[in-house]
Amino acid sequence: MNFEFATAARIVFGAGKLKELRSIAGAFGQRALFVQSQSAAPAAALAALPNCVPFPVTGEPTIELIRTGIRLAKQEQCDVVVSLGGGSVIDAGKAIAVLLTNGGDPLDYVEVIGKGQAITKTGLPFIAIPTTAGTGAEVTRNSVLYSPEHHVKVSLRGQHLLARVALVDPELTYPLPPAITANTGLDALTQLIEPFISCRANPLTDALCREGMHRVARSLRRAYATSAPDARADMALASLFGGLALANAGLGAVHGFAAPLGGMYDAPHGALCAALLPAVMTVNERAVRNSWTGVPPVNSGKEDRRPFDTLRVPSIVEGDAYSTIIQRFEEVRQIVGDLAELGRALGVKPLREFGVRRAEFPVIIEKAAVASSMKGNPIQLTPVQLGEILEFAW
């Protein structure tokens, strides 16, 4: 029952709320760096920021792109950063805003390939406006950046990456095509399920996850088939809840795999999560059950005969952590149904269709095992079990 909860200073949610951007941005500054994807620049946003400096982001934000954005913002004397777009666009804006005040190079602060220095200063005021319903990046405290030379995605992390305002307008998601709706929607679902079964789960994130999963269950298929306003609003809210949950309870093996896979292959993050989710849930639940009974998973060795006290599960029911985590797996099934069937209905592609080869499994497993998201997984998976996940998702 001991936990912390941190999020954006202000959340503005609702259809048509984009019209409030002028007053919101004007409270922070007069010249905005407007970070956007090339396909996401509604006239209403541009009209609200007449003195803005456009900065387009195409694809995953790279370390070099962030350097370019910092130089442009300094040159143009920008005093606020506004991101309008998907998760990549929002992550780019976060990184630029915080590094403008902390100084140095992005590599001074990123994990894994950089120095991992702490971000100690409040960034330039940052406003996040998502145009997809999936990443929840508008309320998370990390920024995922791609390093082409290292073939890896890494993160900036810290409280100072939280937006001053998260402006979530479901109307911005109406034009999304079915494939993007499916992939981002399943990413949102993943970011509700993983914090719910995380070893860092807490009562506040539990409430968000349960509510979000119910909304996805009733609306994702309809949002995929139509632009029904109520379904789109449900998905935008579920995405927001997922961002709030993951920022405070962590993730798990789906995102542990998605990080290295996203760095190695040209595949959308949401599509990778969608392909991995059913496999991870199956292997995770079996690993928890088998760790309790002492029976190893199929095709695994004696290394899997671990005692119960090695389980990384929250003792929400005092002295009965095993029953609690099993109940959570069952609750996910009751709310969401068959994840594999849902994926098939939404046209989810297997990993092999993104160029993933079995010969590369050992490298993927090695990278996934040390990914930061793995720290939230309810149980420490063995290399054999990680390989089973890849086989199921392949």
Is position 4 within any domain?
A: no
If one counts the domains in the chain, the total is 2
Q: Are residues 187 and 322 in the same domain?
A: yes
Q: Are residues 128 and 92 in the same domain?
A: yes
Is position 383 within any domain?
A: yes
Which CATH number does the domain housing residue 98 bear?
3.40.50.1970
Q: Are residues 168 and 186 in the same domain?
A: no
User: What is the predicted pLDDT for the residue at 311?
Assistant: 52
Q: Residue 309 pLDDT > 50, yes or no?
A: no
3-state DSSP assignment of residue 327: helix
Is position 2 within any domain?
A: no
Q: Are residues 238 and 386 in the same domain?
A: yes
What pLDDT digit, counting tens, does each position of 178-188 carry? 999 999 999 99
Q: Are residues 166 and 191 in the same domain?
A: no
Structural domain boundaries, residue 15: 10-175
User: What is the predicted pLDDT for the residue at 304?
Assistant: 38
Q: Are residues 222 and 320 in the same domain?
A: yes
DSSP 62-119: BHHHHHHHHHHHHHTT--EEEEEESHHHHHHHHHHHHHHHH-S-GGGT-SSSS--PPP
What pLDDT digit, counting tens, does each position of 206-256 carry? 999 999 999 999 999 999 999 899 999 999 999 999 999 999 999 999 999
User: What is the predicted pLDDT for the residue at 298?
Assistant: 43
User: Which of 151, 175, 199 delimits the end of a domain?
Assistant: 175
What pLDDT digit, counting tens, does each position of 325-372 carry? 889 999 999 999 999 999 999 999 999 999 999 999 999 999 999 988
Residue partners of 203: CB distance under 8 A and separation at least 6: 1, 3
Q: Residue 316 pLDDT > 60, yes or no?
A: no
- Residue 166 forms beta bridges with which residues? 11, 128
Residue pair 332/189 in contact by the 8 Å Cβ criterion: no
Report the relative pairing of strands 10-13 and 165-168 from DSSP bridges: parallel
User: Which of 123, 146, 175 delimits the end of a domain?
Assistant: 175
Residue pair 187/274 in contact by the 8 Å Cβ criterion: yes
Is position 54 within any domain?
A: yes
Which CATH number does the domain housing residue 343 bear?
1.20.1090.10
User: Which of 120, 154, 175 delimits the end of a domain?
Assistant: 175
Q: Are residues 84 and 140 in the same domain?
A: yes
What pLDDT digit, counting tens, does each position of 18-75 carry? 999 999 999 999 999 999 987 666 778 888 888 999 999 988 899 999 999 999 999 9
Is position 382 within any domain?
A: yes
